[in-house]
Amino acid sequence: MSESEEVPLYPLEKPIKPPLPATMGGIVRNQYETGHVQELVDYFIEERVRIGLKDKPPTAYRNPEPIAELRKIVQDTPIAKKANDVAKFGGQQVKVLPC
Amino acid sequence: MLSEKKRFGLFLGCTIPSSQIFVEKAIRLIGQKLGIDLIELEGTTCCPEPEISKTVSYDGWLRVAARNLSIAEQTSNNLCLICSGCYATFSRANKALKDEATLSEANNQLQRINRRYNHTVNVMNVVELLHDVVGIERLKSHFAKRMNKVKIATHPGCRILHEKDLVDKMNAVISATGASLLTWKAQEMCCGVPSMYNDPEFALNERAKRKVEDLKTVAPDCLALVCPACYDMLEKAEISFLDPEQLIPIVNLVELVALAMGISPEEIGMDLHRIEVAPLMEKIA
């Protein structure tokens, strides 16, 4: 797949050379393992119900199938490799906790 | 303009449903009041986020975006984004997928998971939904509260800023509430989030701190924005760098619209804001 012509808004944008900065590793790993960049923790599940929302949105937060599909379509890209490298060699999963 | 109930796929993203749930609640309440069908998109994942994923693997980023677009396409040809990051991803991915060869290759990949994207989705920022689809006059007819005493500073954020018409539309929606808009020196400065991945010291001290210190000089009743990443960064920056008595409430545009419609902050869940919104509520009649 060829990279499409970029809007000249980001002329300095370029692929990141390995290794990934530590700050990025957790994001990539989260996406690959959970389908989202940040976890939906119990506190916010309860708060969602409290304010009248469903406990979990019908996304990868609720079901595992989207995660399996995501992994399948990125398995031959650097996203899968880097996510596995982060899991193997370090890089904590990113959690957002209430202040 | 909205003449009958219109259907919009509502893409929630990651940050809003997992921590800024008041934004999700606000848009759902607004949709009910305005008769807009905001449809749940089942099975979506991260958009994927436009900074890291795209630079790690452009192909991987585009495939995941195409997958999410194919899900949206099954429910509606209109996709509403309430997160600026998701909007950046989908608007750029949809533009890339306009190319036949790129779309064909994406569909080759999606075929592995029995999906297909036909490129019929119209990607729309929530600002466009409110301004273009609902319309200013119709919005005004739903505003039950008067905000003439409210002074609002805006932070458009980088994703919106480079589309001047989106900034104008955001301002028009806010002005429709009756509130007055303040200009401030650091208004168009990035909040610092993208720099956090590379240089947190720079992001915090040269962007976030400078921004909130300039913000306090214009003394707004609130700071209005549309991006959840900016919200998180600036809220934390205020708490870190300003004195408690100087804290300025930060509200998402959809929360502001919901408040103007007479929806209570309790119903929206605004008690979950780290900076209390009570000072703002005192100004709303």
Residues of B in contact with A4 (CB under 8 A): 95-96, 99, 102
Q: What per-residue confidence (pLDDT) applies to A98?
A: 46
The position carrying tokens 């979950």 is B272
- Interatomic CA distance for residues B173 and B135, integer angstroms: 9
Of A1, A41, A57, the CB nearest to B62: A1
pTM (two decimals): 0.91
Best to test chain B binding among A29, A34, A46, A59 (most B CBs inside 10 Å): A59
Whether residues B46 and A36 touch (CB distance < 8 A) is answered with: yes
Handedness of CA A59, B11, B119, A70 (dihedral sign): negative
Q: What per-residue confidence (pLDDT) applies to A14?
A: 66
B179 token code pair = 């509130």
Between helix B84-96 and helix B228-241 the angle, nearest 10°, is 150
Best to test chain A binding among B19, B104, B159, B163 (most A CBs inside 10 Å): B19
Q: What per-residue confidence (pLDDT) applies to A91?
A: 53
Q: How far B15 CA sits from the closest chain A CA (Å)?
A: 7
Nearest residue of chain A to residue B235 (CA atoms): A99
Sites in chain B below the pLDDT cut of 50: 1-3
- Interatomic CA distance for residues B252 and B170, integer angstroms: 11
Alpha helices in B98-252 (DSSP H): 100-110, 126-128, 136-142, 158-161, 164-176, 193-196, 200-202, 209-218, 228-241
Of A16, A21, A36, the CB nearest to B45: A36
pLDDT digits (tens, 9 = 90+) for A46-56: 999 999 999 99
Sites in chain A below the pLDDT cut of 50: 1-4, 93, 96-99
Of B56, B99, B102, the CB nearest to A79: B56
Tell me how crowded residue B18 is: count the other CB atoms within 10 A of its CB: 26
Going along chain B from its start, the domains and CATH numbers come out as 6-128 (1.20.1050.140), 135-284 (3.40.50.11810)
Q: Angle CA(B269)–CA(B274)–CA(B278) in degrees, nearest 5?
A: 65
Residues of B in contact with A94 (CB under 8 A): none
Tell me the ipTM for this assembly: 0.93
- Interatomic CA distance for residues B26 and A37, integer angstroms: 22
Q: How far B218 CA sits from the closest chain A CA (Å)?
A: 27
Q: What per-residue confidence (pLDDT) applies to B206?
A: 95
pLDDT digits (tens, 9 = 90+) for B213-267: 999 999 999 999 999 999 999 999 999 999 999 999 999 999 999 999 999 999 9
